[in-house]
Amino acid sequence: MLLEDLNPEQRLACESVEGPNLIIAGAGSGKTRTLTYRIAYLIQQGVNPHNILALTFTNKAANEMRERIVDLVGDNAKYIFMGTFHSIFSKILRIEAERLGYLNSFTIYDTENSKSVIRAIVKDFNLDDKLYNKSYLLNRISAAKSSLISPQAYMDNEQLMMEDRANSRPYIAKIYQEYNHRLRRNMAMDFDDLLFNMNVLLRDHNDLLLKYQERFKYILVDEYQDTNFAQYYIVKKLSARYRNICVVGDDAQSIYAFRGADIRNILDFQKDYPDAKLFKLEQNYRSTSNIVNAANSVISRNSKKIEKKVWTNNGEGRKINFCKSDSDKDEAKWICNTIRDRIREEDADYKDFAILYRTNQQSRVLEENFRFLNIPYRIFSGISFYGRKEIKDILAYFSLVVNNSDDEAFLRVINYPARSIGDTSINKLKILANEENVSLFHTALNHIDKIQLTPRTKQSIIDFVTMIQAFTIEKDKIDAYELGVKIIAKSNIVTTLKNEADPAVEDKLDNIDELISAIQAFVESEDEMILDEQTGEEIALRNKTLDIFVQQTSLLSETDRGDKNDDNTVSLMTIHSAKGLEFSYVFVAGMEENLFPSAMCIGSQVEMEEERRLFYVAMTRAKKELALSCAQMRFRNGSIAYNEESRFLADIDKDYFNENYNNLKEKTKLKTPSFSNSDFVSVNRNLKKIDTLPKPIGGTPVTDMNAFEEGMEVYHDKFGKGKILALEGKGDDTKAEVNFVGFGIKKLVLRFAKLKLM
C-alpha cells in the first residue's frame, strides 16, 4: 500500500484530501516525504494531476518531488503543475500577457538589472545617490510590491509618504512610479512583479480567476511560513472556490522577515479557515535527542508559536560541545582543532562538517585558520555560476534577442565586445529614446538618423541591431542550443577573452563551455507536459527555444543558484543559507550579545523572536554533534568589540551541555528586555516595522574617523541604534548621514558625535 511506510501522523496528513489542511512539520520530521506522498495519494485516489498545483520555494525541491511522485504513481504525475511561486506564475503571466499589456516574451529582471534601472532614474532626477541608495530604494519598492501597494497607492498612503519625508527621501514614490514605467517600456518584470501582476490578473479579470480556480482544484504550498502577503493572497484567491488548500511548514523556522515573509500567514491559518484540520509531524528523524531537546528548550521561549513537542528515537547522543574563547582567533583555532580531532578519531569526512555564523564577516578569521592548517573548505552563497560576468554578458545577448525592448541587456552589450560606440553616443540614444518613449533598440533601429553621430559609430550601431534582429527572426525556428552557439560565436566574446591578458581567462572560457553544455542539456531534457483544456490532448508546455531557456535561468532561486558541496570540503555559510540542509557536525560560531542576537534586534520583541527561530534553525541542522562557541573579544568593523555571552545560551537547559560549559563559573542569566505593545505597525500587513527605542549599549567611542564605513551599525548616546547611510569629507571633517531607529536620518560631524561601533 502506498502509505504503509509513513508514520501514523504522516499517514493521516496524507489521507485528509478534502478541505483546508495545515501540516506543521517540525525540523527533520519528513516534511518533503509527507508532501510527496500526499500528492501521490491524491493521484491514486483519482484526482486528475492536471488539477493539482504544488508551490515550492526552490526549483530543486519541485524537481526532486516530481521525480519521486513519478516513481510512486507513474508518468501520469508529470501533468502536475509544480514549481516555485515565481516559475508557476511566470508561466501563467506569459500565457495571459496581453491582458496586462505585455508581450509573452517579457524579460525577468534580477536584482542587478533592477538596481541598474534605479541608478539611472536617480541620476536622471538629479538626486543624491548616497541618500537615494539603489539598494535601499529597491528594498523599499520590493516591500511595497510584496504588500500589493502600487505606485499610485503608495502616493495615496499618507503614512508611507510621511515616513519618506521624515527620512529626507520625499521622492521615493516618484522613483517607484518611474521604475515601473521603465520596466513596462522594457517589456520587463522584476521578481516581485511576478507576484504583484498575478494578483492584478486575478483581481481585474474574473474570467481568468474562474479559469484558474477550476484548473487548480487542489492546491499545496510548501514552506508556508516563508510566504509574503502577495503569495498569501494569490493562494487565498485561487483556493476560494474548492477550498482544497493544504499548507505545510514550521512556524519555528520562519526566518525570512527581511525578505517580506510574514509568520502570521501560518499562525493565522486556522483563523482564515476555521474548519481546517491540523496535523503535527513531531518525530525528528535527523538529530539525536540531546540536540532535539536543546532546540526545543530554545524555541519554547517564543510567545508567538504553534505548540508542538518534537521528539526522536535516535538515541541520546553527545552533549552540546561548548567553547568560550578569549578572542575570535582562538575560537577559530578551537573549531579547526575539533574538526581535525573528529576526522582522526571518527573516520569522518570534511564534507560532514558545517560552520554556521550570523554575519558573513565572521568567515574571515575562520578562513585564515583553515588555510593555515590546510583544511579544505568552501564558502557558500558566493557568486553563483549565472552571476559571473562572462555568463551574464552572454545571457544579456540572449535576452536582447528574445526581447528587443530590454534596455538593460542592450546597454550591457551594445559596446561589448568593443564596437567604437562610446558613452556620448549611447547617451544620445538614451535621450531620444526617452523623448520617443520607446526602447533603445527601437530607437537605434528606426530613429538613428535623428542623432548626430560619426559615420563609423552610426554604422556600428546599425550592424549591431541588424545582427540582433537576424537572431530574433531565428529564435522560433531553431532550438536554443543551435541559436545560442551562433550568438556566442557571432558576438566575438570568446575571441575577445582569449586576447585579454587575464590570468583567469581559462576559467572564464570553461564557464562559457559549461553554459553551452547547460543549453544542450536543456534541449535534450524531457518536455514538461500538460493537458490541453479544450481537447484533452497532451501538449508540451515547455519547448526548447532560446526564450524558454532564458526564462528558466532567470527564475533560478538563490538556493537553486547556490553551490553544491560535491567536493570533500568543510562548508562555511550564514545560518540563513543553511536552512533546509543537514550535516553530521555543526558549529555555530559567535554566540554573543549584539552579534547573535544581532544588536539591531534587541529593541523589538518581534525581531528577537525571529533571531531565536534563527538559532533554532542553526541547532537543528546537526545530526550527530552540535558545537556552540563564543569569544570574549572579537574584531568587528575595524575595532575590537567586547560582548557578553548570547542570551540564547541561557535558554538551553545546562543538562544538555558537556563539561566545557558546566565547568564555567556560574553565569548571571540575562534579563529579557520589556517591549512596547505596539512592536510594529503594518501597512497591508507587513510593509514596515517600527521598533521601540533600544536600551543603551556599551562600547568605546571611535576616535579614528577613517574607521567608519557606509553600512556600519553604530550607537549614539542620544539617538540609540542606527546605520550609516553616507559619508562625506575626510579626517576630522568627516560627516555622516545616519538612520536612527525611531529618530530617522541625522547628519552628524563624526568627531563630535562620539559614535560607537556595534
At 54, is the secondary structure helix, strand, or coil? Answer: strand
Given phi > 0 = left and psi -120 to 50 = alpha, else beta, which region is 674? beta
Q: Which residues contact 329 (CB under 8 A, 6 or more apart)?
A: 365, 369
Of the candidates 305, 319, 621, 647, the residue annotated as catalytic is 621
Closest CA to 301 of 542, 53, 574, 616: 616
Question: Catalytic residue at 169?
Answer: no
CA distance readout (Å), 658 to 286, 318, 321, 328, 708: 21, 8, 6, 21, 40
**253 noted as active-site residue:** yes
3-class state of residue 399 by DSSP: helix
Residue showing cell 556620448:
424
| Rounded CA separation 541/523 (Å) | 14
Q: What is the dihedral of CA 253, 258, 263, 266, to 10 degrees?
A: -80
C-alpha cell at 660: 566545557
Among left, alpha and beta (phi > 0; psi -120 to 50; other), residue 586 is beta
Decide: helix, strand or coil at residue 302. coil
**Distance (Å, rounded) from C-alpha 623 to C-alpha 617?**
12
**DSSP H stretches of helix in 416-454:** 423-436, 440-446
Q: Give CA–CA dist 604/591, Å, rounded.
A: 19
Choosing from 107, 225, 253, 283, which is the catalytic residue?
253
SS3 350: helix
Phi-psi region of 383 (alpha: psi -120 to 50; beta: other; left: phi over 0): beta
The cell 482544497 sits on which residue?
Answer: 244
Residue 75, helix vs strand vs coil: helix
Helix 85-95 / helix 191-204 crossing angle, nearest 10 deg: 50
Before 597, cis peptide (omega within 30)? Answer: yes
Of 178, 192, 223, 250, which is the active-site residue? 223
Kindly name the residue from 96, 163, 222, 560 that is annotated as catalytic.
Answer: 222
> Residue holding cell 479559469?
211
What's the Cα-to-Cα distance from 368 to each of 341, 354, 590, rounded to whole Å?
Answer: 19, 16, 16
Pick from 257, 346, 270, 359: nearest CA to 306: 270
| Catalytic site residue from 11, 31, 634, 756 | 31
∠ CA 333-338-342, rounded to 5° = 150
Give catalytic residue positions: 31-32, 222-223, 253, 621
